[in-house]
């Protein structure tokens, strides 16, 4: 069986695509990797919230899926928009890496709680900016775009004192020696899908290929958690520009979901936690979103959309 795998061209994206390729080859498939640039890779002088969050890292790959120049697209699950068009689907999710955020610096003594307004922390995430304002208000954040290597180079050149990044990408690229702080999940709760790789295809991909991919790549427990998280995000109509966070965990045959939203200035914060049986993961996401909206989340969401 032959697969053409579409991916962004950054080193981290290629790591993910090559990991997928290796798994498929081990299962007996032959592979071709096709690289391309997305809008999010090309426009680096604007924040993600300014260029629009829908499909910023996926649109070109999805066009290639429809044109059948690739069979599957490999994405960071956290980059996937909450709603896909009817002709597209997520076929599989890789087993999740540790999903927390980390602080990376060439100064191993750097700690957010010891920093003041003279320290610059780079991030391109509105969620992380809002959380910094809430938990570390003395710290000044600055927009940091580009692939991981570009941002690490800017860090080395002194444009920032530190970066806040997802642990998964830092580890996969071998920068974990520069981690100076691991941020706790109960305060810096991650973006939906963080730590997992998502496999996207068109719905008309042959059933044989669909089954092959799921058998070779899908991690059932991770998929269950991400179904809950993505359902939560979809109900909120959240994207890269909205500081929404969500993390589902499995406890025996139950799924626990913590979902929340934080205002851009960090002053307002609503968080909901609920648990349902694993087979109700999608319903769990909707339930947490509905409770969140009813308990002040709707007001925060409207305020955010007026400002973006």
For 186-244, the pLDDT digits (tens) are 999 999 999 999 999 999 999 999 999 999 999 999 999 999 999 999 999 876 678 99
Task: Identify the pLDDT of residue 202.
Answer: 97
Same domain, 87 and 20: yes
Q: In angstroms, what is the C-alpha Rg of the chain?
A: 19
Does residue 190 lie within any of the structural domains?
no
Same domain, 178 and 132: yes
Same domain, 155 and 205: no
Same domain, 200 and 253: no
pLDDT in tens, 91-126: 999 999 999 999 999 999 999 999 888 999 999 899
Residue 47, CA atoms < 13 Å, CB-side half-sphere: 16
What CATH number is given to the structural domain containing 147? 3.40.190.10
Task: Identify the pLDDT of residue 58.
Answer: 81
Of the residues 182, 210, 243, the one at which a domain ends? 182
Does residue 81 lie within any of the structural domains?
yes
Same domain, 213 and 224: no
Does residue 6 lie within any of the structural domains?
yes
Q: Are 24 and 74 in contact (CB under 8 A)?
A: no
Residue 79 falls in the annotated catalytic set: yes
Task: Identify the pLDDT of residue 56.
Answer: 58
Task: Identify the pLDDT of residue 39.
Answer: 58
State the residue range of the domain holding 34. 1-94+196-218
Task: Identify the pLDDT of residue 50.
Answer: 46
Token pair recorded at residue 214: 């799921």
Same domain, 240 and 294: yes
pLDDT in tens, 154-202: 999 999 999 999 999 999 999 999 999 999 999 999 999 999 999 999 9
Task: Identify the pLDDT of residue 47.
Answer: 46
Same domain, 205 and 223: no
Same domain, 127 and 169: yes
Does residue 205 lie within any of the structural domains?
yes
pLDDT in tens, 56-76: 568 889 999 999 999 999 999
pLDDT (average), residues 248-274: 96
Same domain, 201 and 133: no
Q: Say how many domains are in the chain.
A: 3
**Which one from 41, 71, 79, 161 is the annotated catalytic residue?**
79
Does residue 293 lie within any of the structural domains?
yes
pLDDT in tens, 75-88: 999 989 888 999 99
Name the DSSP letter for residue 31. Answer: E
Task: Identify the pLDDT of residue 219.
Answer: 98
Q: Are 8 and 41 in contact (CB under 8 A)?
A: yes
Determine what percent of the chain is predicted with pLDDT higher than 70: 93
pLDDT (average), residues 38-58: 51
What CATH number is given to the structural domain containing 229? 3.30.160.40
What contacts 24+ positions apart, CB below 8 Å, involve 248-252? 248/224, 248/281, 248/284, 248/285, 249/225, 250/221, 250/224, 250/225, 250/278, 251/275
Q: Are 105 and 180 in contact (CB under 8 A)?
A: yes
């Amino acid at each position: 069986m032959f697969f053409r795998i579409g991916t962004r061209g950054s080193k981290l994206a290629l790591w993910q695509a090559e990991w997928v390729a290796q798994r498929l080859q081990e299962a007996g498939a032959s592979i071709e990797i096709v690289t391309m640039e997305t809008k999010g890779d090309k426009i680096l002088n604007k924040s993600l919230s300014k260029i629009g969050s829908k499909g910023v890292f996926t649109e070109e790959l999805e066009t290639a899926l429809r044109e059948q120049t690739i069979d599957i697209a490999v994405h960071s699950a956290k980059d996937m928009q909450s709603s896909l068009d009817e002709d597209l689907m997520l076929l599989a999710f890789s087993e999740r890496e540790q999903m927390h955020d980390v602080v990376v610096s060439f100064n191993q003594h750097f700690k957010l709680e010891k920093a003041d307004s003279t320290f610059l922390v780079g991030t391109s995430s509105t969620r992380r900016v809002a959380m910094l304002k809430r938990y570390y208000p003395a710290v000044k954040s600055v927009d940091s775009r580009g692939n991981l290597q570009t941002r690490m180079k800017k860090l080395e050149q002194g444009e920032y004192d530190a970066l806040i990044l997802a642990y998964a990408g830092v580890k996969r690229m071998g920068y974990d020696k520069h981690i100076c702080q691991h941020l706790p999940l109960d305060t810096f709760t991650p973006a939906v899908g963080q730590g997992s790789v998502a496999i996207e295809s068109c719905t008309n991909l042959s059933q044989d290929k669909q089954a092959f991919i799921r058998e070779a790549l899908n991690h059932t427990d991770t998929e269950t958690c991400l179904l809950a998280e993505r359902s939560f995000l979809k109900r909120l109509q959240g994207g890269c520009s909205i500081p929404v966070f969500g993390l589902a965990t499995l406890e025996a045959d139950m799924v626990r979901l913590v979902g929340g939203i934080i205002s851009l200035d960090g002053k307002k914060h609503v968080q909901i936690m609920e648990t349902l049986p694993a087979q109700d993961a999608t319903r769990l996401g909707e339930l947490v979103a509905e409770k969140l909206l009813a308990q002040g989340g709707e007001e925060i969401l409207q305020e955010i959309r007026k400002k973006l």
